Amino acid sequence: MTVIDILLKKRGLITKKEQAEFLDPIKPDKITLDQIGLQLAAVIKAIKRLTIAHKNQELIYIYGDYDADGVSGTAILWETLNSLGFQVLPFIPSRNDSVRGLSPLGIDLIIKQAKIKPALVITVDNGISAFTGCQYAQKLGIEVIITDHHLPKHKNNRPFFPKVLAIIHTTKLAGSGVAWFFAREVLRHLRGERSSHLGGELLDLAALGTIADMVPLLNANRSLAKFGLDKLRLSQRSGLIALAKIANLDLKVLDDYQVSYVLAPRLNALGRLEHALDALRLLCTTDLHRAERLAAHLNQTNQLRQDKTLTMFLDAKNKVLKQSASQPLIFVASKTYHEGVVGLVAGKLMEEFNRPAVVVALGKNYSKASGRSLKGFNILKAIRSLEPYLLEHGGHELAAGFTIANKNLNLVAKKLLSLAKKSLLNKKLEPDIEVDCELNFNQINWQLFKLIEKFKPFGFANPQPLFATKKVKLLSFRSVGQDNKHLKLSLRGDS
């Protein structure tokens, strides 16, 4: 079996068809709705309502989320409808207003902002669990179209959904991916079947959100990321040009790593600490001078986010070291923690101690918590089992969060610990280095490098390959890079 065969099988790609589609992804324009789990009937119903809204010039709000995926998806739908002549405005909730997802408070805020009641609200990257918000909108006579990728709530082991005009939902994509495919169908129906969405500017935003949200970069997500990166490298967006410049990136050679660890954190920073509306403005502006000001704001906020994350992590790590080393789940809380950064700290704790971690920003009466987990413990399922004690919750199997009244905090901490003990019983909570395969030293050459390049873009479910080799002699080494965090080695096979 060749190295390439091993790498493909490690990624769950068994059949020749799966392997061929991975190495040569289908263009996003050729992907059918059925292939990504979107219901054609729901899409058609939504488009029919949009046609009426366009004819009557009714006000539509795109109700997004404040992370990079939500902001990118909001930009996709706002730009699409705006280009078609709709009366459309974007809305990004603020963490400072304690608003996330479609909620009565959020709906009141958009009515206050617009000074009139919108006829239609379209969610992006949220809404699938917003029962209260959807009911409130209906009470006010506002119709709702949900576009989301999060897991729905379950009752008697069956998913159930809010009652709204249309639900455009799949868990196979990121929120921006769902928005992109919906926008593609809107353009096809309103501009004609020949409208080529692939050639437009919006694929760059879909790639940005998809890579940032760390969804599995396989199948349709891989297609969006691969072809979207091509668009990003040629992007004429003033905001992306300015953001890349201030981050010392060359857009022409942009890769998945730079999106994940350079651009996405800057887009996320405002939503964590301030208001993500400026991140949306950055993506949509055509004014280069405005873009440069906004990019500087994002960059400065990201530096503040980094400082807060480090301070909180060191404090949390100190708390963990004082706890029992045998505990299968970390649970730390403090009044000094910022709710916008607790998820990042939880992720760092999980990596440091190789066990699920929950970090809580304590408030006066209510607190915000964020958890990160590893394979073997579905943290969203655990949190949902404690729903009677929580005010809000949501997320994914490995990353979830909740809002809780302080009086329930100790009880929930104990119950989460108990659930983790059951799930992780007899599991080694020590870091493993899992290599894809072992190579002979003479196999490490440019030919192998070029073959591995075909696996790009890398990301969740398609990580950079990791190899092991033996009998290697170290000739020299030196530290390189910012703060000398990397090593440059000269090696020789000692066969």
For 25-66, write each residue's pLDDT tens digit: 999 999 999 999 999 999 999 999 999 999 999 999 999 999
Amino acid in the structure at residue 495: S
Q: How far apart are CA 318 and CA 320, in angstroms?
A: 5
CA-CA-CA-CA torsion for 107, 150, 371, 99, nearest 10 degrees? -10
CA pseudo-torsion sign 256, 91, 79, 152 = positive
Lowest-confidence segment of 126-135, 190-199, 372-381 by average pLDDT: 190-199
- Residues 262/61/343/213 CA torsion (nearest 10 deg): -50
Across 179-183, 349-353, 484-488, least confident range? 484-488
Cα dist from 52 to 213, 348, 396, whole Å? 33, 49, 35
- Torsions phi, psi for 177 (to 5 deg): -65, -45
What one-character-per-residue DSSP string does 360-409 give? EE--SSEEEEEEE--TT--HHHHHHTTGGG-SEEEE-SSEEEEEEEGGGH
Q: Is the pTM of this model over 0.75?
A: yes
Higher pLDDT, 321 or 396: 321
Q: Contact, 168 vs 42, CB < 8 A?
A: yes
Amino acid at 61: Y
Cα-based distances in Å from 213 to 1, 239, 259:
34, 20, 11
Binned at pLDDT 50, 70 and 90, residue 200 comes out as low
User: Would the CA dihedral through 408, 326, 430, 320 be positive or negative?
Assistant: positive
User: What is the location of CATH 3.90.1640.30 in the chain?
Assistant: 15-234
pLDDT at residue 195 tops 50: yes
CATH number for the segment(s) 323-423: 3.10.310.30
For residue 192, the model assigns a pLDDT of: 76
Least-confidence region, from 100-104, 178-182, 272-276, 479-483: 479-483
Average pLDDT along the chain: 93
pLDDT higher than threshold 80 for residue 129: yes
Q: Which CATH code of 3.90.1640.30, 3.40.50.261, 3.30.590.10, 3.40.50.1980 fits the domain covering 15-234?
A: 3.90.1640.30
Do 3 and 451 touch, CB atoms closer than 8 A? yes
Segments of the chain assigned to CATH 3.10.310.30? 323-423
